Structure 1
Amino acid sequence: MTDLRFPGEWEPHAATWLAWPHNRMDWPGRFHAIPFVYAEILRHLARRERVDLLVQDEAAQRRAQAFLARAHAPLENIRFHIRPTDRIWMRDSGCTFVKDGDRLKAVAWTFNAWAKYDNWQRDREVAPFMAQVAGAPVIRGRRGDQPLVLEGGSIDADGRGTLLTTEECLLSDVQVRNPGMTRDAYERAFAEHLGIRKVIWLGDGVKGDDTHGHVDDLSRFVAPRTVVTVVEPRKDDPNHAPLAENLRRLKAATDADGHPLEVIELPMPGPLYYRGVRLPASYGNFYIANGLVLCPVFNDPHDRHALDTLAKVFPDREVVGIYSGDFIWGFGAMHCMSQQQPA
């Protein structure tokens, strides 16, 4: 597996994988708005690349098709698959596609609903299904003779052997995915399964993150040697200190080839609450597609700054803001819901 490589998200895609929303308990009291958010995402995304969309059953497929047609989403570029899921967070339940030379392969991690919920049985079957449809041989994620529990939202890569993750998610004693697994053991697993040569460990994630520290709310590679990271200048906000520490670590880090990183700061939106719960609203949860970047926005004064920053980072892509004030009540946004299949 010397040629194994985890491509950067900005590299060409064959498709994006999504699942049509159905679990009302993920957005209690606000589910009615979620299909409208999905339709807007699909309207933009399916203009740029094929979308492979999971639905619960034939009736759900008909409802989704009718909804998307009314929203003028390009149905001819949406491929429906009947595959029941527990939730729709394809970044975490789906496989991680890698390249072995010119050959596409699929790393199927073990999914256990973030070591927090008990309804994961259907989601656990999503990764091998994706691999089968894509015609990609499966690499079973393992740590020695044990299955390796991991979510795609906990890792981000530059396509050249460097990976970002967080200590809060993988090494803390809360929501423990792999009891007893050490930093070195994770690094060996990333090398074996993804061809990673260097792991950059950040500290804590954003407040309100149901996953306990996923890196895709924090810091993202946007090109080789270039990272976008969220910052919170307000010192009275609980995100200020951990995000400042992550920024410090990135500025001190080098990539797998020993090159320093260019670090671009992205603002955080103002605190967002619903029913007294701090929500993990972050502009860092954007998704990079072919010719397109989808970024969550929140009707916040910082929306414009975030979109302008990403437009400068991606001058050759259309940057589109997707209102996510309702969507984030499900504790995820554009990146959490999607999984790219490299071309």
Structure 2
Amino acid sequence: MIRMPAEWETHAATWVAWPHNRMDWPGKFAAIPFVFAEIIRHLGRRERVEILVRDAAMEARARGVLDRAGALSANVRFHALPTDRIWLRDSGCCFVRDGDALGAVQWRFNAWAKYDNFQQDAEVAGFMARAAGARGRRAGMVLEGGSIDVNGRGTLLTTEECLLSKVQERNPGLGREGYEKAFAEHLGIRKVIWLGDGIRGDDTHGHVDDLSRFVGERTVVTVVEPRRDDPNHAPLAENLRRLRAATDQDGRPLEVVELPLPGPLTYRGIRLPASYGNFYIANGLVLVPVFNDPNDRVALDLLASLFPDREIVGIYSGDFIWGFGAMHCMTQQQPALAVGE
């Protein structure tokens, strides 16, 4: 039986790739390795961190940065694999429970149906599966991990903008029923909740991990924008309406918690996808992007109330978000296998 665990279930490891593509953060790249070091420093205190690097020279540079940041530990391991970009949530495999074994769903990856340079990233999912000793499952369709979120019990969140739009179309001809069948087959999903549109500035065209996230089997946080003159107001209000009307895999209503957005963040005239919804749940902690915004404290306090047994860590992401991603986009969890489960 296939089951994709929820992100809050115990991890064996978190997978990341060391940043190297300067064009993902033009003019701001110098700060990015140190943001990664801060993230890895926190993760390494709680679980193993598997880091992809191009070669020995990149590993040496990464070790130097991590050492200066106090982030090197026995929990940090390196793997030589070239990548085009570092967004392993999307290029990496989705780890699942396959009976008593670890499974890995290897979706196809085409750089969000937007960029041409993804040939190296297309090899990441298979590499991760092999390195983790997981049972690989080739899905035969394009899907990014950031486009879905699960409660670990059979319910999945996604958006129509990402999967059903003709813009940045991942799988031409594949409709709602086709996706739901694939989710059932590869992830053990029994209920799909379809939201509408994503936030402005998201160049993935509607990833759900900037919008709405499960934080419990029946509890969802969803970002809202109260300012009616903001272009995010109407689509986020519609997503909130859909969630309030939705039920889980057993027909039970969801508990829906509203999460604010930071104020609009722009750089070089471009609206950036700054969202507290892009947090990452790890063993014993939650990493949350913050932006030196008054709503930072509101978001951190709210997430602390939802995760009372975890440390809530704000990671300054004002520079990081220029790459159009944050904590959740860069990480991919590998679940632990419980004895006897």
| 2:127 pairs with 1:134 | no
Match of 2:93 among 83, 92, 95: 95
Which residue in 2 is equivalent to 1:17? 15
CA contact (8 A) 1:164 1:201 kept: yes
- 1: CA distance between counterparts of 2:254 and 2:72? 39
> Residue 66 of structure 1: CA displacement?
1.0
Contact 1:68-1:75 within 8 A present in 2 as well? no
Paired residue type of 1:226: T
CA distance in 1 between partners of 2:235 and 2:126 (Å): 36
Assess if the C-alpha contact under 8 Å between 1:17 and 1:90 holds in 2: yes
Aligned residue in 1 for 2:327: 334
Paired residue secondary structure (1:91): helix
Distance between the aligned counterparts of 1:304 and 1:32, measured in 2?
27
Query: What amino acid does structure 2 have at the position aligned with 1:320?
Result: V
What's the CA shift for 1:220? 0.3
SS in 2 for 1:229: strand
Alignment deviations for residues 47-85 of structure 1 (CA, whole Å, 9 cap, x no partner): 010000001110000110011011001321101001100
- Alignment of 1:266 onto 2:264: no
Moved over 4 A (4+): none
| Cα drift, residue 137 of structure 1 | 1.2
Deviation at 1:286, TM superposition (A): 0.1
Structure 1 CA distance for aligned equivalents of residues 225 and 107 of structure 2: 33
Map of 1:104 onto structure 2 = 102
**What is the 5 A alignment of 1:35-46?**
35-46=33-44
- Partner of 2:82, secondary structure, is coil
Contact 1:65 1:75 in 2 (8 A): no
Correspondence for 2:199 among 185, 197, 206: 206
Q: TM-score, normalised by structure 2?
A: 0.98
In structure 1, what is the Cα distance between the partners aligned to 2:178 and 2:73? 44
Query: Is the 2:63–2:72 contact (alpha carbons within 8 Å) kept by the matching residues of 1?
Result: no
Q: Which runs of 5+ in 2 are unaligned?
A: 337-341
Name the structure 2 match of 1:77.
75
SS in 2 for 1:10: coil
Which residue matches 1:144? none
Matches within 5 A, 1:164-183: 164-183=157-176
Q: TM-score, normalised by structure 1?
A: 0.97
Shift of 1:101: 2.1
- Tell me the equivalent position of 1:161: 154
In structure 1, give the amino acid aligned to 2:39.
I
- For residues 108 and 6 of structure 2, the distance between their equivalents in structure 1, rounded to whole angstroms, comes to 22
Could you tell me how far apart the structure 2 residues matched to 1:134 and 1:31 are? 30
Q: Which residue number in structure 2 is paired with residue 50 of structure 1?
A: 48
Please list the CA deviations of residues 154-208 of structure 1 after superposition, one character each: whole Å capped at 9, or x if unmatched. 0000000000000000001100000011101100010011010000000000000
Describe the superposition over 1:111-133 as per-residue Cα deviations: whole angstroms up to 9, x where unpaired. 00000000000000000000001
* CA deviation profile, 1:240-261 (whole Å, cap 9, x unmatched): 0000000000000000011100
Distance 1:291 1:265 in 2: 23
* Unmatched 5+ stretches in structure 1: 142-146
Sequence identity (%): 77
Query: Which secondary structure does the structure 2 equivalent of 1:76 belong to?
Result: coil
Deviation at residue 36 of structure 1 after TM alignment: 1.1
1:209-288 alignment to 2 at 5 Å? 209-288=202-281
Deviations 1:204-249 (A, max 9, x none): 0000001000000000001101101100001110000000000000
Check conservation: 1:298, 1:324, Cα contact below 8 A: yes
- Amino acid corresponding to residue 241 of structure 1 in structure 2: A
Counterpart for residue 339 of structure 2:
none
Does the alignment pair 1:296 with 2:289? yes
Report the AA paired with residue 190 of structure 1: F
Amino acid at match of 1:311: A
Report the number of matched residues.
336
Distance in 1 of aligned mates of 2:251 and 2:67: 49
